[in-house]
Amino acid sequence: MTQEVSKKPMDAIMALCKRRGFIYQASEIYGGINGFWDYGPMGAQLKKNLRDAWWQDMILRPCWGRNGPNGRPVRNVGLETCVIQHPKVWEASGHVGGFNDPMVDDKETKGRYRYDHVMVFVPENGDPGDKPVFAYVGDQPSEAKQKKKAEKTFGAVKSVALSTIPQPWTRVIGPEAEKPGTLTEPRMFNLMFDTIPGAIRDEANKAYLRPETAQGVFVQFKNVVDTTRVKIPFGIGNTGRSFRNEVTPRNFTFRSREFEQAELEFFCHPSESLEWYKFWRDFRMEWWKEIGLAGENLILREHEKDELSHYSLGTSDVEYRFPFTSPGFGELEGIAHRGDYDLTQHQKVSGAKLDFFDTDRGEILPNGGKKGERYLPHCIEPAAGLDRGALALICEGYTRDDSRASPEFLKLHPRVAPIKAAVFPLVAKDGMPEVAEKLHAELNDKFWKLGGIEMDEKQSIGKRYARMDEIGTPFCITIDGDTMSQQIVTIRDRDTAQQQKVSLDKVGAFLSEKLGV
């Protein structure tokens, strides 16, 4: 049932993406490569428009000029950091330590442990017979708990490494588990791509392709503070490619191994961090609605306590109901309260001082100034996936209406539509092409920075409308008999196919209003 509902629209969407130049498989003529996708002319512009919209609404004019919870305008600055960073960056962030080692999962408790950290209590003589043995992690609550249980079962016990027990571990009870046999075999999680900078190949120089853009911000936090007169609270935005060796690339571009992120790290005083977290969570949800995901397919989901990272005070996801996740949802953006975890880590690993001296805080001095306060800021991170965003815009916009002459169309918001408008002579004669060409040139001069303005005089008017519908062009402007006699054009709306008459010299103003410029 779900298959029937979800599969067909996705197939049609993927066919349209290919047919009209939105998304191609990477290296297609060589058979494709798992987890990588390219954008065609339409897709490249769509994604660029989305990225620009993010940058405009987050960096150039944050939150549409709105005030933050402190009653002042929100201030953010931009940054662009390298895909390749010093390998220690990923040690500090926890990406190397956590995911390059073999891990065992507990299917019962969903716990995950480093294979080499898991120990097991077995009887002193080493032979448990047909009784279960008790796994634990040293210095964790599981150690005492499991020891007690083991002693109750066997009397005297000793401790051995999990690796000394032959697999499968059908009699091993996981550290937090109740039943035996729920630990999986150890698996290597090699989720970061690596590479070797330097002309001479030497494993010792191994570096990683970043799995997220965020760390570049933390690493440059001090430079930004020292050189740009920013004061807390403020944010640093960073967009760009990231790379993850996804276990299972799946669902079109949704889980790609190379993808683009748009992340903001917003730094604030610990006492205000919860307010800022809520502020960003709500704004980001509103933003996605504003650029076209206004329907019921978009939700904001607050993470449960047990989903949170150990350092996080709160995380929510903006999620979209894609055809392939339906009736469930897939993550578009995560808004995380990261506390001071990252700055603390980088401070520790690098040895650099990353705290902030806040001259707006502290007790008031006799001269009227403030004493200041030195602290490590807390960070709120709205981290969006641009490829997922673009895919969501396409899925949300994809509409099929068999009562129309052009049944398939993309209802893209004018701000993100790759082509903003098209000019057609109704017929290629009677002087119409010349007028159309003139209008096209005029509109192009005015709007080229926003996206394409097209001109098409080939074939029937119906086909031209249909083509524009499929790539989501919001407006088609037709030069017809009325234009020739009265200087009036016909503008057709993509979504309703309704037409309205507009004076030829007002077309620019009409588009300006509709495109919000």
The contact set with RNA (CB under 7 A) reads 2-3, 6-7, 10-11, 14-15, 18-19, 25, 29-35, 94-95, 98-99, 105, 107, 110, 112, 191-192, 211, 244-252, 255, 309, 324, 404-408, 426-430, 458-463, 465-467, 469-470, 478, 480-481, 484, 490, 492, 497, 499
Nearer to RNA, 51 or 257 (CB): 257
Least CB distance from residue 496 to RNA, whole Å? 9
Least CB distance from residue 465 to RNA, whole Å? 4
Nearer to RNA, 14 or 313 (CB): 14
Nearer to RNA, 19 or 438 (CB): 19
Which alpha helices (H) appear in 334-480, and where do they start and end?
Answer: 341-350, 386-397, 432-447, 461-470
Least CB distance from residue 244 to RNA, whole Å? 3
Nearer to RNA, 44 or 230 (CB): 44
Residue the block writes with tokens 């956590």: 98
Nearer to RNA, 316 or 478 (CB): 478
Q: How many whole angstroms separate alpha carbon 236 and alpha carbon 231? A: 12
Maximum C-alpha span of the chain: 104
* Nearest in space to 262 (alpha carbons), one of 78, 93, 417, 45: 78
Nearer to RNA, 190 or 512 (CB): 190
Least CB distance from residue 317 to RNA, whole Å? 10
Least CB distance from residue 455 to RNA, whole Å? 12
Helix, strand, coil shares, percent, the chain, to 5? 35, 25, 35
Least CB distance from residue 483 to RNA, whole Å? 8
Least CB distance from residue 315 to RNA, whole Å? 10
Residue 465, φ and ψ in degrees, nearest 5: -60, -45
Contacts of 361-364 spanning 24+ positions with Cβ under 8 A: 361/269
477 burial level (CB within 10 Å; 0-12, 13-18, 19+): buried
Nearer to RNA, 206 or 374 (CB): 206
Tokens of 433: 């092409």
Please report, in angstroms and rounded to a whole number, the separation of the first and last CA atoms in the chain: 45
Do 311 and 93 form a contact (C-beta atoms < 8 A)? Answer: no
Nearer to RNA, 279 or 324 (CB): 324
Least CB distance from residue 294 to RNA, whole Å? 24
Least CB distance from residue 406 to RNA, whole Å? 4
Least CB distance from residue 497 to RNA, whole Å? 4
Nearer to RNA, 53 or 426 (CB): 426
Type of residue found at 230: V
Do β-strands 373-375 and 356-358 pair in parallel, antiparallel, or remain unpaired? Answer: antiparallel
Q: How many whole angstroms separate alpha carbon 186 and alpha carbon 322? A: 33
Q: How many whole angstroms separate alpha carbon 356 and alpha carbon 270? A: 12
* Nearest in space to 268 (alpha carbons), one of 358, 350, 345: 358
Tokens of 449: 């920075």
Residue the block writes with tokens 């001269």: 367
Q: How many whole angstroms separate alpha carbon 433 and alpha carbon 48? A: 31
The conformational region for residue 158 under phi > 0 = left, psi -120 to 50 = alpha, else beta, is beta
Nearer to RNA, 150 or 209 (CB): 209
Least CB distance from residue 328 to RNA, whole Å? 9
Residues in the chain: 517
Least CB distance from residue 407 to RNA, whole Å? 6
Nearer to RNA, 154 or 424 (CB): 424
Instruction: Name the CA radius of gyration of the chain, rounded.
Output: 29
Which alpha helices (H) appear in 56-162, and where do they start and end?
Answer: 87-93, 95-99, 141-154
Q: How many whole angstroms separate alpha carbon 198 and alpha carbon 216? A: 21
Nearer to RNA, 222 or 420 (CB): 420
